[in-house]
Structure 1
Amino acid sequence: MAERPTTNWRHGIAEEAEELAAGTLDPECACMAALYPEELLATTDAALDAFEHELPGLGEASDEQVFAVVERFVLALNEVNDANNGGAFETDEREELCDFIDESLTEHGVDVVALTARHGLGRYQLTNKWRKW
């Protein structure tokens, strides 16, 4: 199963906290907790929950239905980003979220390459129409 980006971010926070506690990381170099405050993680997880809830059965769904699920998820992430002054998701986070979408759809039977090709898009352009982050 595709790993949620928030799982990775929480792991980084915990790892950094361990390094700080052990004295192996200079506190001035610690940034994970500031990059991923709990409210950001919680609201991103809520969007992920809703997306994951819609995944079963998408392998048999029409292109329009798959795009509608992706659109709802991307718009939810836009709201998370807006609530964080447009700075919730930087390049690494955007890539993780897009990879998560691709992997999740694929795991549920959606041929993302064929889907996007049928609509004149490259595989990694699936979210571009709605994405503001």
Structure 2
Amino acid sequence: MAERPTTSWRHGVAEEAKELAAGTLDPECACMMGLFPDELLTATDEVLDSFEDELPGLGEASDERVFVVVERVVLALNAVSESHNEAAFETDEREALCDYIDQSLNEHGVDVVLTARQGLGRYQLTDRWRKW
């Protein structure tokens, strides 16, 4: 199963906290808690929970239905980003979220080559709605 990006982000926050507590990391070098505050992680997980709830049976769905689900998750992630001053997701985070959406769809039988049927490139599945 595709690993949620928030899982690795939470792991990074926890590792940094351990290093700070042990005195092996200079507090001025700590950045994970600033990049991934709990409110951001919780909001992102809520969006991904909803997305995952829509995945079962999507492999047999029409392209239009798949795009509705993708649009919904992307717009919800846009809202998360907006609530964090448009700075919730940097390049690596954006790529991780897009990969997660792609992998999750694949795991549920969705052939993401459906983008070609819509005149889009292979990795443009989220581009139509994505602001992050």
TM-score bracket, shorter-length normalisation? over 0.9
Structure-to-structure mapping, 1:107-118, within 5 angstroms: 107-112=107-112, 114-118=113-117
- The letter for the 1-side match of 2:26 is D
Range with greater deviation from structure 2 (55-64 or 14-23): 14-23
CA distance in 2, matches of 1:31, 1:22: 16
Matched AA of 2:123: Y
Distance of 2:28 and 2:72 partners within structure 1: 38
Alignment of 1:40-79 (within 5 A): 40-79=40-79
The amino acid across from 1:95 in the alignment is E
Shift of 1:111: 0.9
Deviations 1:24-65 (A, max 9, x none): 111100000011111111111110000000000011000000
CA shift, 1:69, in A, is: 0.2
Residue 124 of structure 1 corresponds to which residue in structure 2?
123
Show the counterpart of 1:26: 26
Percent of residue pairs identical:
77
| Superposition deviation, residue 99 in structure 1 | 0.3
Q: Which has the higher helix share?
A: 1
TM-score (norm 1): 0.97
**SS of aligned partner of 2:123:** helix
Q: List aligned pairs for 1:3-18, cutoff 5 A.
A: 3-18=3-18
- Per the normalisation by structure 2, the TM-score is 0.98
Matched with 1:97 is 97
- Show structure 1 runs of 4+ deviating over 6 A: none
CA-atom RMSD in angstroms: 0.6
Structure 2 residues not aligned, in runs of 5+: none
